[in-house]
A = this chain, B = another copy of it.
Amino acid sequence: MQITKFVTPEIIFGKGAIRQVGESCLRLGAKKVLIVSDSGVIKAGWLDHIIENCKKAGLDYAVFYDLSTNPTSDNVEAGCQQYYREECDAVLGIGGGSALDVAKAIAIIATNGGDICDYEGIDKVTRPLPPLVMVSTTAGSGSEVSQFAIIVDVRRKKKMTIVSKSLVPDIAIIDPYTLVTKDRLLTASTGMDVLSHAIEAYVSVAATPLTDVQAKNAISLVSTYLRPSAASKTNEEAKNGMAMASLQAGLAFSNAILGAVHAMSHAIGGRYPISHGDINAILLPYVMEFNLIAAPKRFKDITSLLGENIQGLSDIDAGRKGIEHVKQLAIDIGVPECLSDLGVNREEIIAMSEAALEDACMITNPRDMTLDDVSKLFQQVI
């Protein structure tokens, strides 16, 4: 076994956890925080809660919320200008992956300077970030606990994967009650993102016993709680289960990295304003099918964790049953089935395949991929 590393933030989890946000920032020495959020979170009323809590803690603040669906280097630039102008000394992200990733990117520039595109790839961030508190409201991205930030370089039309231990926030706050304001489609799409995090982390070539326990539990929680969570806005048990699944999948993939689903998804997301969760939901079973021969035993485990009976089945056959389960789950909760429905153009397949092969997430995919392999997979789903 190689040497493995495992990094996590301090985690505060539970209904009402959001009320610890002001105290958490203060504890890290913050005086004025830049709150990075998005319009959905503001509309749902969560930003008001955060601001009230910051005020109560005697914390000064400024708010930045001008984000694209897949947030861009321009968003980061605008946020940085506000951070400097308002003389902030800490960053507080609240929302889904977009808000949290932009919050991280602003924090990178705040202490490291330069342009966010300078930090694409692994371990390019050298100086510690300002105090960083993340409040996740989607049960999806896992960004609140991860070493990742994904930002679109608008010039190259490319989702850049930025990976560094410095990006692990100081404190992650997960309040499952914030999930009751998510609509059905967002619940379904972000839930499939959680499942893709857990499955990709579990079959990653960088998986370790520490990431395995988190990934396995996340798969099992998704299997129990995603359908009921998509079925009802107010099922708190299901929201709780999905919030924990998202957290554990985040801990797993932050340390085991991901695979071809995310590499391909980033290639699409750099070109089209489509939700990351929807893209992943469509790609996941096809990539599982492709990867099956690389880790049959692991795919058999996944099928069992999804609640299927695998008795008497070979590893490969058990793995196939799990892939069918994932397809059915996507149908049950109503995520899109085909990328062409979402406007993705077949003429871009080669360019997207090239981008996917270059993505940092491709390195840990369990099966080697050629340009031809990636193109064929894109053809299947577009």
Give residues in A with beta carbon < 8 Å to B.
Answer: 1-8, 10-17, 20, 165, 208-210, 213-214, 216-217, 240, 244, 247-248
Q: How far is the CA of A90 from the CA of B4 in the complex (A)?
A: 24
Shortest Cβ gap from A100 to chain B (Å): 18
Of B4, B12, B244, which one neighbours A3 at CB under 8 angstroms?
Answer: B12
Q: How far is the CA of A214 from the CA of B213 in the complex (A)?
A: 7
Shortest Cβ gap from A276 to chain B (Å): 25
* B1 in contact with A6 (CB, 8 Å): no
Q: Which 7 A-B pairs have the closest CB atoms?
A: A3-B14, A6-B11, A213-B213, A213-B217, A7-B10, A3-B17, A8-B8
Each complex incorporates copies of this chain amounting to 2
Shortest Cβ gap from A146 to chain B (Å): 14
Q: How far is the CA of A5 from the CA of B5 in the complex (A)?
A: 21
Instruction: Tell me which residues across on chain B come within 8 A of A8, comparing CB atoms.
Output: 6, 8
Given A1-B240, A240-B1, A210 and B6 contact (CB-CB distance below 8 Å): no
Instruction: Tell me which residues across on chain B come within 8 A of A1, comparing CB atoms.
Output: 14-15, 240
- In the complex, 8 of the A-B residue pairs with CB atoms within 8 angstroms, ordered by the A residue number, are A1-B15, A2-B14, A5-B11, A5-B13, A6-B11, A13-B208, A213-B213, A213-B248
Closest B residue to A216 using CB positions: B213
Q: How far is the CA of A209 from the CA of B249 in the complex (A)?
A: 13
* B3 in contact with A10 (CB, 8 Å): no
Q: How far is the CA of A312 from the CA of B13 in the complex (A)?
A: 36
* A10 in contact with B17 (CB, 8 Å): no
Instruction: Tell me which residues across on chain B come within 8 A of A244, comparing CB atoms.
Output: 209-210
Shortest Cβ gap from A377 to chain B (Å): 32
Shortest Cβ gap from A87 to chain B (Å): 24
Shortest Cβ gap from A299 to chain B (Å): 20
Given A213-B217, A213-B248, A13 and B3 contact (CB-CB distance below 8 Å): yes
* B165 in contact with A13 (CB, 8 Å): no
Closest B residue to A176 using CB positions: B1
Shortest Cβ gap from A171 to chain B (Å): 10
Shortest Cβ gap from A107 to chain B (Å): 18
Shortest Cβ gap from A152 to chain B (Å): 30
Shortest Cβ gap from A41 to chain B (Å): 20
Instruction: Tell me which residues across on chain B come within 8 A of A13, comparing CB atoms.
Output: 3-6, 208, 210
Instruction: Tell me which residues across on chain B come within 8 A of A16, comparing CB atoms.
Output: 3
